[in-house]
Structure 1
Amino acid sequence: MFNQYKGLRREMYVLFFGRIVTNMGALIWPMLTLILRNKLGLSASDVATVMLVMTAVQIPITLLGGKLADRFNKRNIIIFCDLVTVVCYLICGFIEVSFMFVILFFIAGLFASIEWPCYDALVADLSSSSDREKAYSLNYLGANIGLVLAPTIGGFLFENYLNLAFIFNAISTLSSTILIFLLIKDISKTKDDIVTSSYEEDASSKSVFHILKERKTMLLYLLYVAVSGLVYSQFNFLLPLNMEQLYGAKGAIYFGLITSVNAVVVIVGTPLLTSLFPKIRDVSKIIIGEILIVTGLAMYIFIQGLIPFYFVSIIIFTLGEIASTLGKQPYMTRRIPSSHRGRIGSISYIGASLFQAIMQKGVGFLADHYTMQIVWTIISFMGLICIGVAICLKLVDKKAYPLFYQEEK
């Protein structure tokens, strides 16, 4: 299974190891909801409000990140943003948990928002269209190898040693930054000679809005990303609230274990699914992934308090996450000019984040006033809508991008 990753550019393997090292210290991001709820005593609705405000501030920052990614050296932007996050995490490691603590945490998140479009665009730049699934698969695999133990350790540190988790995160992020600084020198775009690469030809003279007007199918894709982002985000929003409601502070331990199982399944399942389904179109992977994600989350309508079934649910959910990930980024980057990857990637992220934050306020309200079974039922209905949008995307894709289908004949 791992032989399939041979032949990629050296820089892809550096990014792979960088992801591993960074996420080894990612002890606290999955715990944000629990920090606001358990440490600061906010209601579920107030937690959603805080996240909405954070998202509103992130919108111009993420747009800036996309613009910078398309115009400047992506490697240098990543290094600078990493250094800022390291400083914020270190300060958090030595102060009391308070709203100032959350503000510093948020500042680190803002610079991560600038970095994300650069990272995703860099992966696309360093891979050819035919290797795109493998490149994103390897990047995703590295992120989750680092996450295997981090959430579980974070869960155990959460109650009494939360500051120590921030110090670990700072050290791991700094290690990754040093790795990228020393080993990534060449970030020139990979040349591609296959027919479908014409969709990725440079269009620097055109605005991002002109590109979206030309390729209206991408608007449907952006709608899908927004709805799917809301459904997927319940893993880090509604699920920890559910665990906290059932088990109090110990819910952090159960949520950490569930998150670690998620990472283990990704490590085993990503290379497996990448090798088993190389000829399945990216848009079909998206549909398969959403069906599995919705199925995994819908199980919480029936399994409240049944701990073994939490792990069955997360396995199904994670297989869907893998399939969806292997479909989404390759789908988008193959259908837009290489000159616009950063900006359209940031628009995709902003649309999803804004929709998620606004709707999350409603989810938080429901969690405060209704049973978890009712809330999970509503989320499952949203998931069905998402699956419907993905199916519509598949139906219009063949007409919009015929070269992909001619190549497969």
Structure 2
Amino acid sequence: MFSHYKGLRREMYVLFFGRIVTNMGALIWPMLTLILTNKLGYSAGQVATIMLVMTFVQIPFTLLGGKLADHFNKRNIIIFCDLVTVTCYFILGFIEVSFVFVVLFFTAGLFASIEWPCYDALVADLSTSADREKAYSLNYLGANIGLVLAPTIGGFLFENYLNIAFIVNAISTLSSTILIYIFIKDIKKINEEVTVGSYEESATHDSIFKVLKERKMIIVYLLYAALSGLVYSQFNFLMPLNLERLYGAKGAIIFGLITSVNACIVIIGTPLITKYFPKVRDVSKIVIGEILIVTGLAMYIFIQGMIPLYFVSIIIFTLGEIFNTLGKSPYLTRRIPASHRGRIGSLSMLFASIFQAFMQKGVGFLADTYPMPIVWCFVTIAGILCITLAAMQLKFDRKTYPLLYTDTK
């Protein structure tokens, strides 16, 4: 089941174990909506407003992360950002939930937003075009192995022992940072040894605008990624809010169990889908994944109060998430110059975050005004538009990137 992950660089396995350790402590991020609503008493609209403000604050940090990833040592940037987030988490472990608490929580998120483009670009740097799906699959698998028990534990700690979750998160993130510091050294030397794909040759002197002008389908991808991010984010926004409305503080426990099931399905499904669907191209995986994600979320129009069906929904959703993840990252990195991975990756995150924040405000307004099934109808309509954009990519990709359909993978 895991044999096809053999043959990757040693550093990829270090990142894999680092992801496991980090996400073992990820007890609190899935609970953000519940912290703001249940602990601080904010409405859904107020939570959406806070996230909108956070998005605007994140803009320069996300762009900075992409710029730094393309010009400096990605490993050192990751280590520095991790140390800042660890410090914030330790402080959060010893203070009461308050406005200052939220500010520190978001400060940790800001430095995480600098780190994300570096991490994604580093995975691409450490893999060849042919191994790209396996590399991202392994990284994604590690993240979810760590998440198996974390959300459930977080759900039980949420009501009375939330501070302990932050301390555990700080310790686990620090452990991951130490692994990266010890075992990942000279990134430049690694880059020189990796073979790039047909469209990945560096274009150091080209601006990001020139790169996008020459690759117009990437702009369509950015539109798709923004809408896809909005739909997917309802897993951590509207779903816990829905459960909190139905079950109060106990909704955190149910949501924690659902999230753990999500991680379990990822652990079982990721290596199997990677192994048995290697001939399904990245762009096709995106379409399949989006259809399953939208189907899983659309079920909430009909299953309010039916707890067993929540778990059927999350299984369908998670299978879609796996297909989508195995398609998205390889799709983008195979079609842009290696010299621009950080900047275009950060632009994709930024574009998705801005769109998501504005539209999330609308979702929050709907959640405060209408019954939950109506709100889920809105999410489903957005999902159908998302599937349409993904289908457009599928239709025009062969014409736009013909070498990817003739090269031997």
The TM-score with structure 2 as length reference comes to 0.98
User: 1:190 deviation in Å?
Assistant: 5.8
- Aligned with 1:189: secondary structure? helix
1:239 to 2:230 alignment? no
Report the AA paired with residue 30 of structure 2. P
- Aligned with 1:130: secondary structure? coil
- In structure 2, what is the Cα distance between the partners aligned to 1:64 and 1:32? 25
How has the CA–CA distance of structure 1 residues 31 and 66 changed in structure 2, closer, same or farther, with 3 Å as cutoff?
same
Report the AA paired with residue 223 of structure 1. L
- What does 1:217-236 correspond to in 2, within 5 Å? 217-236=217-236
User: 1:192 deviation in Å?
Assistant: 5.2
CA contact 2:89–2:169 (8 Å) conserved in 1: yes
CA contact 1:24–1:172 (8 Å) conserved in 2: yes
User: 1:343 deviation in Å?
Assistant: 0.3
Q: Identify the residue that residue 30 of structure 1 maps to in structure 2.
A: 30
Q: Identify the residue that residue 189 of structure 1 maps to in structure 2.
A: 191
CA contact 1:127–1:190 (8 Å) conserved in 2: no
CA contact 2:282–2:331 (8 Å) conserved in 1: yes
How has the CA–CA distance of structure 1 residues 11 and 193 changed in structure 2, closer, same or farther, with 3 Å as cutoff?
closer
Q: Identify the residue that residue 328 of structure 1 maps to in structure 2.
A: 328
Report the AA paired with residue 276 of structure 1. Y
CA contact 1:11–1:186 (8 Å) conserved in 2: no
Cα RMSD (Å) of the superposition? 1.0
- In structure 2, what is the Cα distance between the partners aligned to 1:90 and 1:407? 49
- In structure 1, what is the Cα distance between the partners aligned to 2:329 and 2:405? 18
Q: Identify the residue that residue 153 of structure 2 maps to in structure 1.
A: 153
- What does 1:277-356 correspond to in 2, within 5 Å? 277-356=277-356
- In structure 1, what is the Cα distance between the partners aligned to 2:404 and 2:237? 37
The CA deviation string for residues 67-87 of structure 1, in whole angstroms up to 9 with x for no partner, is 000000000000000000000
- Aligned with 1:198: secondary structure? coil
CA contact 2:92–2:166 (8 Å) conserved in 1: yes
Report the AA paired with residue 201 of structure 1. E
Identity %: 77
- What does 1:95-110 correspond to in 2, within 5 Å? 95-110=95-110
The CA deviation string for residues 296-323 of structure 1, in whole angstroms up to 9 with x for no partner, is 0000001000000000000000000000
Report the AA paired with residue 395 of structure 2. L
The TM-score with structure 1 as length reference comes to 0.98
1:372 to 2:387 alignment? no
User: 1:193 deviation in Å?
Assistant: 5.1
Report the AA paired with residue 321 of structure 1. E
Report the AA paired with residue 398 of structure 1. R
User: 1:236 deviation in Å?
Assistant: 0.2
The CA deviation string for residues 144-165 of structure 1, in whole angstroms up to 9 with x for no partner, is 0000000000000000000110
- In structure 2, what is the Cα distance between the partners aligned to 1:26 and 1:329? 22
Report the AA paired with residue 284 of structure 1. S
- In structure 2, what is the Cα distance between the partners aligned to 1:200 and 1:315? 35
1:55 to 2:39 alignment? no
Report the AA paired with residue 189 of structure 1. N
CA contact 2:129–2:195 (8 Å) conserved in 1: no
User: 1:189 deviation in Å?
Assistant: 1.4
Q: Identify the residue that residue 272 of structure 2 maps to in structure 1.
A: 272
User: 1:398 deviation in Å?
Assistant: 1.0
Mind listing any 5+ residue stretches in structure 1 that lack a counterpart?
A: none
CA contact 2:5–2:138 (8 Å) conserved in 1: yes
Q: Identify the residue that residue 392 of structure 1 maps to in structure 2.
A: 392
* Number of residue pairs aligned between Structure 1 and Structure 2: 407
User: 1:408 deviation in Å?
Assistant: 6.5
CA contact 2:2–2:271 (8 Å) conserved in 1: yes
Report the AA paired with residue 2 of structure 2. F
